[in-house]
Structure 1
Amino acid sequence: MMEKTIALTQRETYAPGRFTEFLWWLSTAEKELLADAVVDRNRHKIIGMTVLTTWAFATLAWTYFFSTVATSGWLAVLLGFFMGFIILTIDRALIKGINKFSKSKLLPLVFRSLLALTIGTFMAQPALLYIFNKEIRLQTSLDNEKKKQLKSQELTDLYKNKQTTLLSEKESLQKELQIKYADVAKARQNFLSETDGSGGTGKVGIKDIAIAKRNEYQKLDGEYQQLVNIEQPKITTIETALKTMDDTIKKEEADFTNYFNDGFLTQIEALNNLIKTNPALQFRYYLLVIILLLIELMPVIAKTILPSGTYDERAMQREAMEKEMVSSNISKEKELKELYNSLAHQNDKEAISAFFDLTKEERNQKITGFSQQWKQEKNQTFNSLWETMKKEVLTRQEH
Structure 2
Amino acid sequence: MSMNFASPRMLLVAGGAVRQLADVLARFGLSRPLVVTDPFMVGSGHVRHCLEPLERAGLAIAVFSDTVSDPTDIVVEAGVERLEVGDYDCLIGFGGGSPIDTAKAMAILAAGGGKMRDYKAPFAADKGALPVIAVPTTAGTGSECTRFTVITDTERDEKMLIAGLGALPLAAVVDYELTFSVPPRTTADTGIDSLTHALEAYVSKRANPISDALALSAMALIGANIRTAYAEPHNAAAREAMMLAATEAGLAFSNSSVALVHGMSRPIGAHFHVPHGLSNAMLLPAITRFSVPGAAARYAEAARRIGFARDGDNDDTAAARLVSGLEALNRDLSVPTPAAYGIDEAAWTGKMALMAEQALASGSPGNNPRVPSAEEIVGLYREVWTGAAANR
What's the TM-score, normalizing by structure 1?
A: 0.17
More strand by share: 2
| Between structures 1 and 2, the one with greater helix share | 1
Q: Which has the larger radius of gyration?
A: 1
